[in-house]
Amino acid sequence: GEKVEQHESTLSVREGDSAVINCTYTDTASSYFPWYKQEAGKSLHFVIDIRSNVDRKQSQRLIVLLDKKAKRFSLHITATQPEDSAIYFCAASRNMGYKLTFGTGTSLLVDP
Amino acid sequence: EAGVTQSPRYAVLQEGQAVSFWCDPISGHDTLYWYQQPRDQGPQLLVYFRDEAVIDNSQLPSDRFSAVRPKGTNSTLKIQSAKQGDTATYLCASSWTGKDTQYFGPGTRLLVL
């Protein structure tokens, strides 16, 4: 089955800097890659996703890049703010309405 | 639009006790997922439904766990005889087949002593 590896378990940046979280996946049939944010004691909140028909997607300060050849995708948070501090999970799925396989999470700390 | 709701929010059990978790998905969402999230780990799928049909329950420990969604709306996840290893947060999510995004509920935090 699909395996998703999230490479950074913790990441610390200064406010205003960029943060990058990297993930790799194993299933070549995966075509949908969402990112979720989890604040302390709370549930998962969807932040951005990318489908395999594009290699870049941006939503305000969030950019997702997808390299299908390398089976790698990444989340870039630009101009970080203290409220960006949370655990970020990457995930992969084969298609719409299919189960998600999650990475192990990256704890991002933005120092003010 | 109301989000995914779950109850109870917390449960504390002794080993061997039974517990049920309830989930109400977003109205109109045909697909419902149950994930288990152990502390400091990512969510792992237990089972998911499309309408009332089970699509994948291969990761559900069938000897002690069961899940139903009889009318294709609300769902119940039950643990018959809890073990300490079941300590985790149980997350329910829902989606609509025509869209990829899964929306998560607040979760039920289970502690088995």
Residues 6+ apart with CB under 8 A from B69: B32, B49, B51, B52, B75, B76
Res B1: pLDDT:
61
Res B100: pLDDT:
80
Dihedral pair phi/psi, residue B85, rounded to 5°: -65, -10
Dig out the tokens for B67 from the structure. 């899940």
Whole-number Å distance between alpha carbons of A57 and A99:
22
From chain A, the residues in CB contact with B97 under 8 A are 96-97
From chain B, the residues in CB contact with A44 under 8 A are 43, 91, 93, 104
CB-closest option in B31, B42, B97 to A104: B42
Q: Which 39-58 residues of chain B touch chain A by CB within 8 A?
A: 40-45, 48, 50, 56
Give bridge partners of residue A64 from the DSSP assignment.
Answer: A57, A75
Is the CB of A42 less than 8 angstroms away from the CB of B106? yes
DSSP strands (E only) in chain B: 5-7, 10-13, 19-24, 31-37, 44-50, 53-56, 65-68, 75-79, 88-95, 103-104, 108-112
Q: CB distance from A2 to chain B under 8 Å?
A: no
User: Looking at chain B, which residue has its C-alpha nearest residue A42?
Assistant: B106
| Terminal C-alpha separation, chain A | 41
What are the pLDDT digits (tens) for A28-83? 999 999 999 999 988 899 999 999 999 999 999 999 999 999 999 999 999 999 99
CB-closest option in A43, A103, A104 to B91: A43
Whole-number Å distance between alpha carbons of B26 and B47:
18
From chain B, the residues in CB contact with A89 under 8 A are 42-43
Dihedral pair phi/psi, residue A8, rounded to 5°: -105, 120
pLDDT by residue, tens only, chain B of 113 residues: 679 999 999 999 999 999 999 999 999 999 999 999 999 899 999 999 999 999 999 999 989 999 999 988 999 999 999 999 999 999 999 998 878 899 999 999 999 99
Do β-strands A32-38 and A19-25 pair in parallel, antiparallel, or remain unpaired? unpaired
Dig out the tokens for A110 from the structure. 């933005």
From chain A, the residues in CB contact with B104 under 8 A are 36, 43-46
Mapped onto helix, strand or coil, the DSSP state of residue A46 is: strand
Residues 6+ apart with CB under 8 A from B2: B26, B27
Q: Which 78-97 residues of chain A touch chain B by CB within 8 A?
A: 89, 91, 93, 95-97
Task: Give just the sign of the alpha carbon dihedral B52, A27, A33, A112.
Answer: positive
- B92, B85, B83: which is closest to B21 by C-alpha? B92
Residues 6+ apart with CB under 8 A from A60: none
Give percent of chain B with pLDDT exceeding 90.
Answer: 88
